[in-house]
Amino acid sequence: LPPAHGVRTGARPHQEGSRTGSRRGGLAHTHRELSGVPELPEVEVVRRGLEAHVLGRTIRSVEVLHPRPVRRHLPGAEDFATRLTGRTFTAAHRRGKYLWLPLDASSRADEGAGDALLGHLGMSGQLRIQPPGAPDETHLRVRFCFTDGGPELRFVDQRTFGGLSVEDLVGAVLA
């Protein structure tokens, strides 16, 4: 029997040539996105993209264009940028929906086990790889430029539920 008027019966069937997933979340190569809603499989796709495109690269500058994405970095946006400038991403990890990118050693005396860029995409966050000089996305929140002059890493988040912070690592880094 057909469903009653107004009753949802679940997902729509896949149509030939249709796009599965939405444009939310994920890591994009230049202008092409690789994933949809930032659920666990998609967050793993983002982690792999970060591993392929930012590992071993040194950050030349960080621009925080909106304060909300770094709200969990309690010392503020300026400290966020300062702690990352001149640092190199050494790995890319995921635990649940959180991503973290350990950084090389810094000159901080209280470094301990080191620190990492911690990220959560929220509902609409994206980490995008874009060539330098590419037009800014409407909801660009944070831009990372690298010393090699290559593609930038951009945090784009329409709803600003996602966030980035620099956190001290405690103990061993989980793979």
Show which residues are catalytic.
38-39
For residues 128 and 154, the answer to whether their CB atoms sit within 8 Å is yes
Residue 76 CA to residue 115 CA, distance in Å, equals 16
- Strand 32-33 and strand 125-130: pairing? unpaired
Amino acid making up residue 142: V
Q: What is the DSSP track for 99-153?
A: EEEEB---S-TT-TT-EEEEEE-TTTEEEEEE-TTPPPPTTEEEEEEETT--PEE
Which H or E element spans position 21? none
- Spatial CA neighbour of 85 closest among 155, 132, 147: 147
Residue 138 CA to residue 142 CA, distance in Å, equals 12
